[in-house]
Structure formats: structure tokens, C-alpha cells
Amino acid sequence: MIIDSHFHLAIDGYNNTFSYLDGTNGIPLVRPAVRRKKLLEEYKKNGIVTFIDPAIGMSYNERSLQLYNELSGTCQYYRAVGNHPGKCFDPDSYYERIYTANGIELSKRHMGIFARWKMRYKLDEYAGHESVIAIGECGFDYRKGRNNHLIEQKRWFVYQIRLADRFGLPLILHIRDSAKRAISVLRKNKEYLNHGGVWHCYNEDPKWAEIITQEFDRFYIGIGGYLFHEQYRDNIEASIKMLPLERILLETDGPYCMPPNPNRLPKTRWETALKNSKKSAVVQTILREKKYHLNRKKKLLSNKKYKKARNSSLILPMVINRIAEIKGVSPSVVEEITSQNVKDLFKI
């Protein structure tokens, strides 16, 4: 049994028809457009019936609740509720126009505080629902374009750490380019970290994985499609080597974090083709060039198609196989231990 510990099924991208990635044959292939229901049927055929859907913003909590009611028992759909660090400062919900009794508009600062508490009460309400098994995504996002409102990000992070403790729930952490800061906040709030958590979509230096799993009780590392990206591969593989399997969870973060397109041409191909051709064989070079461009056009088209596809839990067999290779065990061992980890952490 495979459990996807992080999959945003309630996202709009899965509402209408969409093509999706299927990695059950070892490489990610684009499958023709389906609807959400059909995708879940495909999952079932491949033994994937359990997944956790964490919130990517305040309004998402409502959407996932709606989906939970719609699915009503057709699969094991669990929710995490929270306020994502990249979206924790939503001006529309913050700057409500509030007036005093004599009609004077309150300052923006006051409005911010008022709206923040209103959202927090709402979050408390969401956290009590039977389908909720964790709090998140919460944490820090310091990536370019999202690294605004850093104080607000911290307020929400700390609030959610304590909320999780009050409800006896684990945390789903979203930490991007901010490992040092996140660890420092977690250290300062250690007394509230009694129910564990997961650092989702891990791609940082292995030293942070070591710290979070050793310094804090029942903390795990989430591994998904980024394992195949050149940019993150070394960090993730080193982390997998260093960690015991008992500290790893599988996830897709669908529709995000897709594995790279296996058909994509390396950028240097054009230069190598020219370099290898002998001066005397000009004609041959021209022909090769022509062929190359035709091929490239075809590949680029397929890349467009690839990028449009949604990530799905069907890429998890690829992730399992790669982890098994790194750890030198059989894929079934990886599948069994990581699924047990999800059950242990989220108590499902």
C-alpha cells in the first residue's frame, strides 16, 4: 500500500479535465485528460487509496472540506488545515473596512490585528473537524516574490505550532530558503512540539534534515518528485543516505513539484553536435543541424504538453524505486516502512 502524505486534490487544477503524470512504468508519462473521479479510480487500480491534503491558504480549508464531503468515503481522504506562509498576508482578508460607532475608519494597523484574530478563530474551528489530522502547511517561504511580510509569516508559524499542540496534531512544515530561521523558531517553541511533524518536499542541505529528525521528537522528511531534479538531487540523495527509512515519508505535492520531463534535450546538445562534426563534412553537418532542429521542435512541443500535465500520486513508484536503490533494499520494504511512518505520525 502506498500513502501519499501530501497531495492537493482540492486544488482548482483538478476540477475540470486535466492530463496527468503516470510514473508506474519507471518514467513519468503524460496520460490523456481525465476528471478527478477517473484519476482516483486509476489510483485505486495501483493500490493508492490514502492521501493527505494540506491547506495552501485560508480559503483552501473551505475547499478541502467541501471535497471531503463530496468524496464521502470513496477513498481515505484526510485534511490538514492551516495558513500557508506564502499566502499568510492576504490584503483582501486583512484590510476589511471597519468603522467605530461614530463612523470613523480605524487605521490599517488596527484592522490588521482584528482580521488576523478573526482568521485565527476560523482556523481553530476548522482544526476541530473529524477529517483533520494535521496543521499546515505552515512555516517560512523566503523565495523571491514570496519573501514579503516576514513578521506576519512568523506570527502565523508560531500560532500554528501552538494550535497543533492544543489540538494534539502533528505539523506539516513548508520551509523554503529559510531553514536556519525555521529551525530557530522550532527550537524556541520546543515545548509545544509534542506531536511531531514533517518537513515537506525536502530539498535542503542534509544537515537540516539531521537536525530536525534528531533534535525534535517524531519529525520526518517528505520526499517526492524533486528527487529527480538536477538542482536538488544531490541534497536529497545525501539526506536519504543519512536518514533511516523510519524517518522518511512519500509525497507528491501534486499538482506541483513534478519530476523533470525525461524527453527534454540537454542545452549543450547543439554545441556538441557542431564540435563533433569534421570540417570536411560540411554537408553532413548541415543535414544534422536540420534533423536536430526538427527533433528539437518536436521535443519542445512535448515539453509544453508535459508542463501542462498535473502531477499525480502515480509517480510515487518511481520515487520508491530510487529510494530503494539508494538504501540498497527492495522497493516493497520502502513502501511498507514509509506507509507505516505516515500511519504513526498522523495516527490514521
Pick the closest to residue 245 from 171, 326, 348, 133 (CA basis).
326
- Select from 64-72, 245-253, 281-289, 326-334 the region that touches Zn ion (CB under 5 A): 245-253
- Which triple of cell numbers denotes residue 209? 534534515
Q: How far is the CB of 56 from Zn ion (least distance, A)?
A: 6
Residue 60 or 68 with smaller CB distance to Zn ion: 60
Residue 176 or 195 with smaller CB distance to Zn ion: 176
The CB-nearest residue to Zn ion is 253
Q: How far apart are the first and last CA of the chain?
A: 14
Residue 4 or 253 with smaller CB distance to Zn ion: 253
CB contact at 8 A, 70 and 110: no
DSSP structural state of residue 309: S
- Select from 27-35, 252-260, 279-287, 324-332 the region that touches Zn ion (CB under 5 A): 252-260
CB contact at 8 A, 125 and 163: no
Q: How far is the CB of 51 from Zn ion (least distance, A)?
A: 12
Residue 115 or 132 with smaller CB distance to Zn ion: 132
Residue 53 contacts Zn ion per CB under 5 A: no
What is the Cα 284 distance to its own chain's centre?
Answer: 47
Residue 86 or 206 with smaller CB distance to Zn ion: 86
DSSP 206-231: HHHHHHHHHHSTTEEEEE-GGGG-HH
- Select from 125-133, 251-259, 305-313, 315-323 the region that touches Zn ion (CB under 5 A): 251-259
Q: How far is the CB of 253 from Zn ion (least distance, A)?
A: 4
- Which triple of cell numbers denotes residue 97? 473596512
Residue 115 or 171 with smaller CB distance to Zn ion: 171
Q: How far is the CB of 202 from Zn ion (least distance, A)?
A: 12
- Select from 231-239, 244-252, 253-261, 292-300 the region that touches Zn ion (CB under 5 A): 253-261
- Select from 57-65, 180-188, 248-256, 324-332 the region that touches Zn ion (CB under 5 A): 248-256
Element housing 135 (H / E): strand 132-141
- Select from 23-31, 40-48, 157-165, 246-254 the region that touches Zn ion (CB under 5 A): 246-254
Residue 115 or 209 with smaller CB distance to Zn ion: 209
- Which triple of cell numbers denotes residue 16? 475540470
Helical pair 206-215 and 230-242, crossing angle rounded to 10 deg: 40
Q: How far is the CB of 109 from Zn ion (least distance, A)?
A: 31
Residue 141 or 253 with smaller CB distance to Zn ion: 253
Q: How far is the CB of 133 from Zn ion (least distance, A)?
A: 15
Q: How far is the CB of 59 from Zn ion (least distance, A)?
A: 15
- Which triple of cell numbers denotes residue 201? 518536499
Element housing 113 (H / E): helix 108-127
Distance CA 62, CA 39 (A): 22
Residue from 22, 204, 251, 253 in contact with Zn ion (CB under 5 A): 253
Coil, strand, or helix at residue 219? strand
Distance CA 230, CA 236 (A): 10
- What are the C-alpha distances in Å from 200 to residues 5, 52, 121, 219? 9, 12, 26, 11
Q: Is the peptide bond before 137 cis (omega within 30 degrees of 0)?
A: yes
Q: How far is the CB of 290 from Zn ion (least distance, A)?
A: 44
Residues forming the site for Zn ion (CB under 5 A): 253
